Amino acid sequence: MAGGLPALTRLPGRVFLQALAQGTRRQAQREWAGTPMHRWLLARPRPEGLAADPHDPRPVDPEAGRRILDGRFVFGGATLETGTRGDPWDRPSPTRRFAAILHRFDWMPDLLATGEAGAAEGLRLTLDWSRVFGRWNGFSWAPEVLERRTFNLACAVHTLCARASDAETALITLDLARQARHLLSSLEGPVRAAERAAAATLAGTTLSGEAGEQLVDRGLVRLERALHVTVQPDGGHASRSPRAALELLLDLQALDEALVQRGIAAPDEMMRAMDRLTGAIRFFTLADGCLPDLQGGEAGRRSYVAAARASEEASARLPAARNGYQRLESRSLQILADCAPPAQGPWSVTACAQPLALEVLAAGRRMIVACAWSPEANGPQALRLADAASTVSVGDAACGEPLRGFRAGALGPRLVDAYETVAAQRHETREALWLEMSHDGWVPRFGLRHERRLFLDLLADELRGEDRLAPVEAAAGDHDGRRFVPFMVRFHVHPEVRASLARDGKSVLLRAEGDETGWWLRNDAQEVAVETSVYFQDGLPKRTHQIVLRGNARLDAGARVRWKLAAAEAWPPPH
């Protein structure tokens, strides 16, 4: 493929036509969803009662539930004060992200964890939501919101109905059935098809009679088909997001338990997917118990990741690579490198164009990271570009960027113009691990190939790296070889790590909280600076720093920067 660019990129008109067709289709679906005929179809057959009582394995936060009992809804960094037993549904939400969390019922597990008072309040809020939005609403019934509300309501329905009257129970179970049916009818494309089929099937397991049986049957068929595409043979998620793999595994674990309660055998494809995802999460869990902050996913809390691994059995040594990622480990250092292109097409709506990005942990502490953009983060789409990861960027260019405007509204903010070719070769000896990587993202514009070499010295317990921009002979005729272009090698630093530039103006001391010695990042760059950066945790930004190594590459000769990360000696030295 010429220039390594996706076919879709070379046909911008095709992207526009796809967006137009998708927007027209969605508008027709929205209009049909609001019709009396559609609502009538969703309401039949009616549930006859409750069956399975599923459990969401995700950890809960009772303190967040107690705030809701006090009338304080705190979601995504925004707060809505309603007063005790106030109504959050009859007033505007402070942000769109707040509204999405509110209508997804993400708060329900925390509220129910507070006990009887929380269950009573959860019942009241559910009935109030049904009164205002239960018939139809474009925002609250959108697939991305409906999916999580269906899942959360299915896990809460037994607790809520235990305190409800017969009429209220009938209303709640009918609402759950209607939402699950609509979710199955609104599946479009492969992205999140598995998650939505799992949520609808889970709802079906909780309902007795023909209503539940139909949902389970239809949902499992859809789920099998979707899992075959979503979960890769090595357990990675098709989006290449470690966090997406974790979330899908947690959903499937809840569904598996509910199917056992109903005496229904889980499909073979579902069991294979769970085994593969479990292996992938084990691979992605780093020394601090969290996930990497790469490809549209945040690290998550240690307890959150551990919840998915609670029933994990001891297994053999971890593989060196999965889903396009490579792990390198010594006594103190742990490195995860992204050695594959980002997901393409519809799967790329959360992908990041950050080739050969690194994450480094030292002594079990996260040290070098990415900005941790995710769909849940309150951050700009620009954080999906190379500047927001610990990798090389050239000039002011991007090697892939999200769609914007009308096309993004219809197709989602998928990546376009993203690099497609990434090579990685690994060597191992008893004394060292050596990883050679390269990508073609800068070739179309500059004729330069980025080559990154990592050498982990197992005896010295230090990491040596080299970033090289090499001219590509085939592209030389398209570029002025005498021209120079600026480049930067960035190392984003975790918020709990302080970066201090040494007196020589080159070396940088990285010291985590409580670490008396730290680690030196030494280099031979032309210019070194410590600048501000941002890191997202639980969807909210935290101020941090980045180390920026600057240089200039001549297009016909390229350039290179060498660097080394090694433990600093204690001072004064021990006697």
| Domain final residue pick, 227, 258, 284 | 284
| Domain final residue pick, 225, 255, 284 | 284
Q: Which of 17-26, 293-302, 387-396 has the lowest mean pLDDT?
A: 17-26
Distances from the Cα of 327 to the Cαs of 29, 292, 330, 336, 512, in angstroms?
A: 45, 11, 10, 5, 22
Q: Assess whether 267 and 343 both reside in one domain.
A: no
Of 539, 515, 245, nearest to 366 (Cα)? 515
Q: What is the residue range of 65's domain? A: 42-284
CATH at residue 527: 2.70.98.70
Residue 316, in any domain of the structure: no
**String of DSSP letters for 462-480:** EEEEEEEEEE-GGGGGGS-
Rounded Cα distance between 544 and 534, Å, is 5
Of 21, 108, 29, nearest to 62 (Cα)? 108
**pLDDT level of residue 186 (50, 70, 90 thresholds):** confident
Q: What's the pLDDT score for residue 43? A: 87
Q: What's the pLDDT score for residue 481? A: 62
Residue 306, pLDDT > 90, answer yes
Q: Assess whether 273 and 173 both reside in one domain.
A: yes
Residue 479, in any domain of the structure: yes
Q: Assess whether 433 and 560 both reside in one domain.
A: yes
Q: What's the pLDDT score for residue 387? A: 97
Number of independent structural domains in the chain? 2
Residue 321, in any domain of the structure: no
Residue 346, in any domain of the structure: yes
Q: Assess whether 213 and 82 both reside in one domain.
A: yes
Residue 301, in any domain of the structure: no
Q: Assess whether 280 and 211 both reside in one domain.
A: yes
Other residues' Cβ atoms within 10 Å of the Cβ of residue 282: 16
Rounded Cα distance between 367 and 198, Å, is 36
Amino acid at 315: S
Q: What's the pLDDT score for residue 573? A: 46
DSSP state at residue 299: -
Residue 297, in any domain of the structure: no
Cα angle for residues 314, 318, 324 (degrees, 5° grid): 135
Work out the mean pLDDT of the chain and round it to a whole number: 92
Higher-pLDDT residue of 566 and 36 is 566
Q: Assess whether 417 and 510 both reside in one domain.
A: yes
| Domain final residue pick, 268, 284, 300 | 284
Q: Assess whether 338 and 204 both reside in one domain.
A: no
Rounded Cα distance between 261 and 278, Å, is 22
Whether cis (ω within 30° of 0) applies to the bond prior to 57 is: no
High-pLDDT (> 90) share of the chain, %: 82
Cα angle for residues 510, 511, 513 (degrees, 5° grid): 150
Residue 34, pLDDT > 80, answer no
Q: Assess whether 130 and 65 both reside in one domain.
A: yes
Q: Assess whether 540 and 441 both reside in one domain.
A: yes
Encoding tokens for residue 394?
């050239």
Q: Assess whether 199 and 139 both reside in one domain.
A: yes
Query: Under the phi-then-psi rule, with left for phi > 0, alpha for psi from -120 to 50, and beta for the rest, what region is 505?
Result: left
Residue 155, in any domain of the structure: yes
Q: What's the pLDDT score for residue 22? A: 67
Average pLDDT estimate for 198-227: 98
Q: What's the pLDDT score for residue 271? A: 98
Q: What's the pLDDT score for residue 6? A: 38
Residue 476, pLDDT > 60, answer no
Residue 302, in any domain of the structure: no
Per-residue pLDDT of 265-279, as tens digits, reads 999 999 999 999 999
Encoding tokens for residue 359?
């994450």
Whether cis (ω within 30° of 0) applies to the bond prior to 233 is: no
**pLDDT level of residue 189 (50, 70, 90 thresholds):** confident
CATH at residue 84: 1.50.10.100
Three-class SS of residue 505? Answer: coil
Q: Read off φ and ψ for residue 437, nearest 5 degrees.
A: -135, 155
Residue 8, pLDDT > 60, answer no
Per-residue pLDDT of 477-534, as tens digits, reads 555 667 999 999 999 999 999 999 999 999 999 999 888 889 999 999 999 999 999 9
High-pLDDT (> 70) share of the chain, %: 93
Q: What's the pLDDT score for residue 379? A: 83
- Count H helices and E strands in the chain, helices first: 15, 21
Q: Assess whether 68 and 198 both reside in one domain.
A: yes
Average pLDDT estimate for 545-558: 96
Per-residue pLDDT of 109-156, as tens digits, reads 999 999 999 999 999 999 999 999 999 899 999 999 999 999 999 999
Residue 569, pLDDT > 80, answer no
